[in-house]
Amino acid sequence: MTTSHYIAGRWVEGQGSDCISVNDPALGQPFAELMAASIAQVDQAVTAARGALPAWKNTSASERAAYLRGFAEQLGQRREALITLQMRNNGKPRHEAEIDLDDAIATFGYYAELAEQLPSKNRDVPLAAPGFSARTRLEPVGVVGLIVPWNFPLVTSAWKLAPALAAGCTVVLKPSEVTPLIEQAYGQIADALGLPAGVLNIVNGKAETGAALSNHNGLDKLSFTGSNSVGSQVMRSASAQCRPVTLELGGKSAIVVFDDCDVGQAVEWIVAGITWNAGQMCSATSRLLVQDGIADALLPRLQVALEQLRVGNPLTEEVEMGPLTSQAQWLKVAGYFATAREEGLHCLAGGKALDRDGWFVSPTLYADVPKDSRLWTEEIFGPVLCARRFATEGQAIAEANDSRFGLVATVCSADLERAERVADALEVGHVWINSVQAVFVETSWGGTKGSGIGRELGPWGLSAYQSVKHVTRCLG
């Protein structure tokens, strides 16, 4: 992993002006450096993808499926190295890093199966009008730029890369500069499998590299996962070219706990929803809505659970939560702690950075948070939970929906009929009922409102990289 970029089937050194420092967040120290790609190298990557497209899109579905299965197998063969790298560069506990790898493997396997099930290129379309025939065909959208975030590297890239390749697209992947190393495995696997040169290209860099890719007129589609601020810039770039875009953006999601719920079970679901990946998830259920009848029993139990959570270096300790992944994110979360003090919020647990090496913060719970608090309305991207009480089902639905985001939600209730009813009323893209945030490749991922455009995973993830063509012929 000493060379930074995979372009046209070759590993090349970066020629950009930025030096990327790769850090171990548990120590707050760098352990690798990469030179970013230059704008010219981004152009070379797009050109390589464009050149590889005609042959790749005309490969058989079974041939593309074989490559995808090869990616899944090769990821498995690199298991321990990738898990360790995920722990070291992201600060994830081992069990989270293992799930990440299993997720990526399952994604490639799933889209291999979907590739084999693709319909024949031509399908007849019945017409009411006589004298004409019509057929439809699904075609790859073309060359796609994939820009992925730092909180779930390897995983988010698999969610984009596997369906894009299955559809017959060629790609240019731009990993986050915070976690650039683990996606290098995809280039190594492409080499091992003999993937045709140019089908997969990887360029690393900071904002300049991402902007060069987003603005490149050689792309046919952009798929971006990350913050709303950067997502809006990506969307502007796409609009200048009038090309399609998939955006998976932020969230400020609610977990709704009704008073018929088992307290211990509810605490487990709540803690998982806010401390997994140290709360650095767009899907973090950071707004807790708890019904009056259970609040006095639940909040003290929740406080104890958060205070007893084992936080530390995943490479040297048995931990349940690691550090924040970057110093920038650590400073951002610390800023929200200061805002909470300024607003006079009632802190039941945490509310501070930990006095140790690395970028650690305490799992945090604020109670009775006003609806106009910045901590209630803004995405923090850390293990910071804000709680409010509600009286009725209607009030819970209204407060959960009162957000500019609409990614996910969780409903906790022993009354399954009510839980299903509330799930249907929530204005989000994915709802869990009485569960941790289990994500399956067969289901869709994406949100409403400010949480993005389009869907990933499932058959919807594949269709995002396909275009529909109709051919109509006069029979006269």
| Matching residue, tokens 């171990």 | 24
282 tagged catalytic: yes
Q: Which amino acid is at 381?
A: F
For residue 189, what are the CA distances in angstroms to 6, 79, 103, 122, 366? 11, 13, 17, 33, 45
Buried residues in 312-338 as b, exposed as e (16+ CB within 10 A): bbbbeeebbbbbbbbeebbeebbebbe
User: Which residues have CB under 8 Å from 126's CB, separation 6+?
Assistant: none
At 81, list the tokens: 């190295």
248 tagged catalytic: yes
Backbone angles phi, psi at 170, to 5 degrees: -105, 155
Rounded to 5 degrees, what angle do the CA atoms 19, 48, 153 make? 50
Torsion of CA 28, 30, 34, 36, to 10 degrees: 30
At 374, list the tokens: 């910045």
User: Can you tell me the distance from the alpha carbon of 22 to that of 89, in angstroms, rounded to the nearest whole number?
Assistant: 7
- State the catalytic residue, choosing from 96, 177, 183, 248: 248
Closest CA to 104 of 145, 179, 150, 162: 162
- State the catalytic residue, choosing from 169, 282, 386, 412: 282
Q: Kindly list the catalytic residues.
A: 248, 282
